[in-house]
Amino acid sequence: MEINLKGKLALVTGGSGQLGRVICRTLGDCGADVAVNYYRNAAKAVELVAELQAKGARAFAVQADVTDEASIGAMRRQVEDELGAPDIIVNNAVIQYQWVSVLDQKPADYESQFRSCVLHNVLMAQAFVPAMIARKWGRVIAINTECAMQNFPSQSAYVSGKRGMDGVLRVLAKEIGPHQVTVNQVAPGWMISENVPDDDSEGQRSYRANVPLRRRGYDQDIANLVVFLASDLANFISGQYISVSGGNVMPTI
């Protein structure tokens, strides 16, 4: 058994970022064609597209602000003109900001998280799900976080955005399920990546000590679940928030 996405087109928001690049590569390795969305990092997006094309995938870099309706509309038209209508959307982009206590967090940070978590998912669904409904097949996959279950100090703006996103996507799963379009969330823990390598600092030792597997995972672990959810192997999985955290958080029944 293998994950085969040949003949499918995926669009990954934030595709030029560190996690986005791993997701795009893994989709391409499974046979999918890939539209790589970027906001500012055009050079990384173009480099990634060349890499995907060298492996035989059709690939295209497309700029868009995922918090802006007109920008997403323009991205949809560009992707459709270049590659066709996506079968799979992976909503991965998020705005970064400084984490501080609720009493000190700027209101603008809550607004940015609402826009990049909630509105991002709403606008992507409105732009790309109608074509999936027409085909009676589609995948909406969104990147959430273990923080949405932890609610630790200084996480309030991030958590508020991600928990709002969770509500939108659960409703969306019920609304579009009859059309055989699935909606799922992948919730990473604190993963090993280009920006945050594994080390022996106190913060990392403390984190690993609370993970049942006693280690941090990799961005690749997230991408592996994304491609599974994008495949026909996950035909009957929808409306789920799935933790990729080594058991650090455990959604309950």
Based on the residue annotation, tell me whether 158 is a catalytic residue of this protein.
yes
Catalytic residue among 38, 39, 158, 241: 158
**Helix ranges, 97-242 (H):** 107-113, 120-135, 147-150, 156-176, 202-210, 219-230
Radius of gyration of the chain (CA): 17
Q: Are 87 and 128 in contact (CB under 8 A)?
A: no
| Rounded Cα distance, 127 and 235, in Å | 22
3-state helix, strand, coil in the chain (%, to 5): 45, 15, 35
Burial grade of 15 (CB within 10 A; 0-12, 13-18, 19 or more): buried
Q: How far apart are CA 20 and CA 66, in angstroms?
A: 14
CA distance 57 to 35: 10
Using the structure block, give the residue that is written with the tokens 């826009």: 115
Name the residues annotated as catalytic: 158
